[in-house]
């Protein structure tokens, strides 16, 4: 599948950047895509520092071009890197941003830093944040599918399945689909009361059956015959189910959606996705719902 055609790679000269760039180039080869690599120096950086970064960038671009991939270079002076990255995405109509997770700066157990989190919140295209010490090839990909709301609103889940299956096929790895669910409404009240095990089993079955049907219909729209995959409905909140499964099954990549709160552009609903991201220790590809509007505007002054 030729999904990404215009790939943007912020290059911060940190641990893991070379592996991230290699992955971006491999993806570009498969998709016949263009790769834009950008250095993002501070506005206060000296002229000599900027020249040094530009020279390094030119060497990177030349290496990519020698590999048969169309590549471009950008230098984006910025005090807040995520702002200039998003503006460049808007200017260049990029359809994927791929970057290395920043150093955690002493925050134990948290992989994604400020720039990554801002991009996953507000960037209009998918954002792929790679783990700096991850192996070059993936063995397990987790696709976190959302089935809440009307079935006709499953376009985001369709995109998640599409991207995850395409990447699993390219990586020749295992693909794991999961949907975390819990009781709602009257069933939540019943589940919280003292009921017999048989009554609880019946309650679980009544809630799971429509989700199983919907999950099956969602996956039937995609050809998965050549991909080793599993499908799981797990009772519990996604903020606990997804990190637990990612850790126990040694996932290399999570593909998950982000959804806006009504009237608040660029933020996760209920902070569920942010809670997940603060717990996982693998690469993550986040996808926005159709119609997402970034709250970042182009700087028309310059």
- Return the pLDDT at 175: 98
Residue pair 289/256 in contact by the 8 Å Cβ criterion: no
Q: Which of 134, 155, 180 is the last residue of a domain?
A: 134
Q: What is the rounded CA–CA span in Å between residue 288 and residue 197?
A: 40
Pairing of strands 6-11, 34-39: parallel
State the average pLDDT over residues 87-95.
95
Q: Where in the sequence is the domain holding 205, given as residue range(s)?
A: 137-302
State the average pLDDT over residues 93-112.
73
158 and 106 in one domain? no
User: 285: pLDDT confidence band, cut at 50, 70 and 90?
Assistant: very high
- Return the pLDDT at 297: 84
301 and 271 in one domain? yes
In tens, the pLDDT along 4-25 reads: 999 999 988 777 888 899 999 9
141 and 130 in one domain? no
What is the total count of domains within the chain? 2
In tens, the pLDDT along 172-195 reads: 999 999 999 888 777 777 877 888
168 and 104 in one domain? no
Q: What is the rounded CA–CA span in Å between residue 150 and residue 28?
A: 35
289 and 163 in one domain? yes
62 and 154 in one domain? no
126 and 162 in one domain? no
- pTM for the full model? 0.88
Instruction: Please list, residue by residue across 85-115, b when 16 or more beta carbons sit within 10 angstroms of its beta carbon and e when fewer do.
Output: bbbbbbeeebbbbbbbbbeeeeeeebbbeeb
155 and 65 in one domain? no
Query: Is the predicted pLDDT of residue 114 greater than 80, yes or no?
Result: yes
CATH number at residue 33: 3.40.50.620
113 and 11 in one domain? yes
Residue pair 216/179 in contact by the 8 Å Cβ criterion: no
Return the structure tokens found at 163.
């991207």
- Return the pLDDT at 152: 58
CATH number at residue 245: 3.40.50.12370
- Return the pLDDT at 267: 43
Phi, psi of 248 (to 5 degrees): -65, -35
Q: Which of 134, 155, 170 is the last residue of a domain?
A: 134
Q: Which of 134, 149, 182 is the last residue of a domain?
A: 134
101 and 232 in one domain? no
162 and 107 in one domain? no
């Amino acid at each position: 599948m030729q999904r990404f055609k215009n790939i943007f790679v912020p290059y911060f000269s940190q641990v893991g950047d070379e592996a991230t760039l290699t992955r971006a180039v491999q993806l570009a080869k498969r998709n016949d895509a263009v790769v834009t690599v950008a250095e993002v120096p501070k506005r206060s950086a000296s002229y000599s520092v900027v020249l040094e970064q530009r020279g390094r960038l030119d060497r990177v671009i030349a290496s990519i071009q020698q590999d048969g991939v169309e590549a471009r270079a950008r230098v984006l002076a910025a005090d807040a890197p995520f702002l200039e990255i998003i503006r460049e995405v808007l200017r260049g109509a990029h359809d994927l941003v791929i970057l290395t997770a920043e150093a955690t700066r002493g925050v134990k157990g948290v992989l994604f830093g400020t720039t990554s989190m801002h991009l996953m919140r507000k960037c209009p295209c998918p954002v792929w944040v790679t783990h700096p010490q991850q192996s070059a090839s993936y063995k397990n990909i987790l696709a976190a599918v959302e089935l809440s709301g009307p079935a006709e609103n499953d376009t985001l889940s369709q995109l998640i399945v599409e991207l995850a299956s395409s990447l699993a096929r390219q990586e020749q790895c295992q693909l794991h689909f999961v949907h975390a669910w819990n009781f709602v409404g009257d069933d939540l009240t019943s589940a919280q009361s003292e009921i017999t095990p048989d009554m609880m089993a019946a309650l679980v079955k009544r809630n799971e059956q429509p989700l199983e049907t919907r999950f099956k219909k969602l996956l039937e729209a995609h050809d998965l015959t050549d991909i080793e995959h599993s499908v799981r409905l797990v009772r519990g909140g996604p903020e606990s189910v997804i990190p637990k499964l990612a850790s126990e099954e040694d996932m290399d990549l999570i593909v998950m959606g982000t959804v806006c709160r009504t009237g608040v552009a660029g933020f996760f609903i209920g902070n569920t996705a942010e809670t997940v991201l603060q717990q996982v220790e693998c690469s993550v590809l986040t996808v926005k719902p159709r119609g997402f509007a970034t709250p970042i505007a182009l700087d028309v002054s310059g």
